[in-house]
Structure 1
Amino acid sequence: MSDLALIAGTGALPGLLAGALDAQGEGFVLAEMEGFPATVPGREPLRFRVERLVPFLDDLLARGVGRVIFAGAVRRPRLDPSAIDPATAALLPRLMAAMQAGDDATLRAVIGLFEERGLAVVGAEAVLPDLVPGAAVLTGAPTEADRRDAARAAAIVAALGAVDVGQGAVVAQGLCLAVEALPGTDAMLDWVAATGAGLRPDASGAKGVFYKAPKPGQDRRVDLPAIGPETVARAAAAGLAGIVWEAGGVICLNRAEMVADAEAAGLFLWARDPGGTEP
């Protein structure tokens, strides 16, 4: 038996973590919520439903699991009242109230339920520390105009996050061109590219930046924002100068590929110190 469970959603992160755990020789239980298949080749997951959350938690404990990592994207499921077991039914008022309060409240409630059963929730960086870069410019060189745009975008994203709306924004020459909402980062960047919302470079050379950060007060063990090579491709297609994110708060998927793609596209990549210290 393994004391670690990887609760996987969609996207690339579960596969990266599974590969790292295999390379480290650490066994784990792979689990997924029905309707959100994980991309982890060669493994049959333990599937569960929110309507039967308590039996699922009991199953993990019976398998000797003591630590849990959440990785990948899921959406709020539509609950089937006929599938709810009595033990989970007692938790539903708490879960439903959290769901109505927003994504952050829902995640905090879920984490609380796991921890109350004796399951420690740990972040993905516990397996792959390099997933979450510290403050540095990974490639390229942001200009002073880019830095001003990044500071403006950081303030906008902090305001968005405070009302549980989104984790990203595009800013050029101090003007907000787009913000991330429910459709997500890719849709936002695609909209900027399709509509020509980007501004022509001014005398400072500013073309605009995409900025990403976790929400204020977010529990960083779960649902950290993520960027990857697709983000680089979309930022380049939108005509932006670079991608900026809060250092220590954003997962970088396939970092080496991201850097290579950014260099080829002429974009900078900057993990920005939220305290304002410049690299």
Structure 2
Amino acid sequence: MTGIPTALIAGSGALPAHLARAMEAAGTPFLIAQVEGYEMAGAWHWPVETFALERLALLFDLLHARGMQRVVLAGTVHRPRLEPERIDPRTAQMLPRILPLLAQGDDGALRAVIALFEEDGFEVVGADAVAPGLQPPPGVPTAAQPSEADRRDAARAAAIVVALGASDLGQGAVVAQGLCLAVETLPGTDAMLAWVADVAGACRPDPKGAKGVLCKAPKPGQDRRVDLPAIGPATVEAAYRAGLAGIAVEAGGVLVLEPEETLARADALGLFLWVREP
């Protein structure tokens, strides 16, 4: 095998399996360490080590023993509620640094975790380092193209996402005819689009006007090695059910899972995908 031995620290969702497949195809030695209480999708044919956040120091020992040199964090993990009785002595020494940052929000918690891995000698890399094909180049690769109204809606949605990110909230928004129909919060993109499909359709002033755009982008100042927003075929289908014209994602800041299938679904449903320069 070739490449730098890499530990995949996995939360829930589809992204960890995509990264594991990319490393497997590239011949990169890797180990999957699954956060206890979360389950990555599609991990059935790889061995998985499960670890508790209360015993993070023991995870570091395991990764060193297995020869891991890099770490990539992927998947969803909500801010944990730690159980004091499970904390080992070495992890307990880390807590005075971790706990204040956990209270600062998701970005603070992620920065704390990255720092701990780096101080223990691991290089922390982003998803693009192990699966560069998940970030498409700027442009509109779909048959459908955004109209001028769609472009205005995308710009408005992008500005809203910037405002959300400044408050450490979500990474997505839906705008139609200049009106914000929904913003992404803790339940995520799928829940936001389901709400738009069920409720927000009647909010469009002109039933024959612009259908609306989903915009996804990272938070301003976000460490792009972790928690990048992602879309995939399911996002395209949810946007279609929500009656939208298409999806705009920030170039270099959003992962497109199963890119070929995502584009195929968009073309089949008549939606555009715009990889938009910020």
- TM-score under structure 1 length normalisation: 0.94
Alignment pair present for 1:246 and 2:250: yes
Alignment pair present for 1:101 and 2:104: yes
Contact residue 34 and residue 51 of structure 2 kept, 8 A: yes
Larger CA deviation: 107-116 vs 43-52: 43-52
Deviations 1:105-145 (A, max 9, x none): 10011000000111001111112211012211121210111
Letter matched to residue 219 of structure 1: D
SS in 2 for 1:219: coil
Letter matched to residue 107 of structure 2: D
Whole-Å separation in 1 of the counterparts to 2:128 and 2:43: 18
Letter matched to residue 120 of structure 1: E
1:268 to 262, 267, 272: 272
Q: May I ask how many residue pairs the two structures share in their alignment?
A: 273
Report the Cα offset of residue 201 of structure 1: 4.8
**Alignment correspondent of 2:177:** 173
Report the Cα offset of residue 202 of structure 1: 6.3
**Alignment correspondent of 1:214:** 218
Find runs of 4+ consecutive structure 1 residues off by over 2 angstroms: 200-203
Contact residue 201 and residue 207 of structure 1 kept, 8 A: no
Overall identity of the aligned pairs, in %: 60
Report the Cα offset of residue 3 of structure 1: 2.5
Letter matched to residue 15 of structure 1: A
Report the Cα offset of residue 44 of structure 1: 2.2
Contact residue 51 and residue 79 of structure 1 kept, 8 A: yes
Task: Summarize the alignment of residues 78-117 of structure 1 with structure 2, pairs less than 5 Å apart.
Answer: 78-117=81-120
Report the Cα offset of residue 177 of structure 1: 0.6
Task: Summarize the alignment of residues 225-240 of structure 1 with structure 2, pairs less than 5 Å apart.
Answer: 225-240=229-244
Contact residue 23 and residue 130 of structure 2 kept, 8 A: yes
Report the Cα offset of residue 200 of structure 1: 5.9
Deviations 1:213-256 (A, max 9, x none): 00001111111001111111110001111000111100101111
**Alignment correspondent of 1:199:** 204
Report the Cα offset of residue 22 of structure 1: 1.6
Whole-Å separation in 1 of the counterparts to 2:113 and 2:20: 22
Contact residue 200 and residue 207 of structure 1 kept, 8 A: no
Whole-Å separation in 2 of the counterparts to 1:62 and 1:143: 55
Alignment pair present for 1:27 and 2:32: no
SS in 2 for 1:137: coil
2:12 to 2, 10, 13: 10
Report the Cα offset of residue 62 of structure 1: 2.1
**Alignment correspondent of 2:44:** 41
SS in 1 for 2:17: helix
Root-mean-square deviation (Å): 1.5
Whole-Å separation in 2 of the counterparts to 1:200 and 1:235: 19
SS in 2 for 1:91: helix
Whole-Å separation in 2 of the counterparts to 1:143 and 1:35: 44
Report the Cα offset of residue 82 of structure 1: 0.4
Whole-Å separation in 1 of the counterparts to 2:66 and 2:78: 27
Unaligned runs of 5+ in 2: none
SS in 1 for 2:211: coil
Larger CA deviation: 182-191 vs 32-41: 32-41
Contact residue 4 and residue 27 of structure 1 kept, 8 A: yes
Letter matched to residue 9 of structure 1: G
SS in 2 for 1:15: helix
Whole-Å separation in 1 of the counterparts to 2:81 and 2:165: 25
Letter matched to residue 8 of structure 1: A
Letter matched to residue 37 of structure 1: E
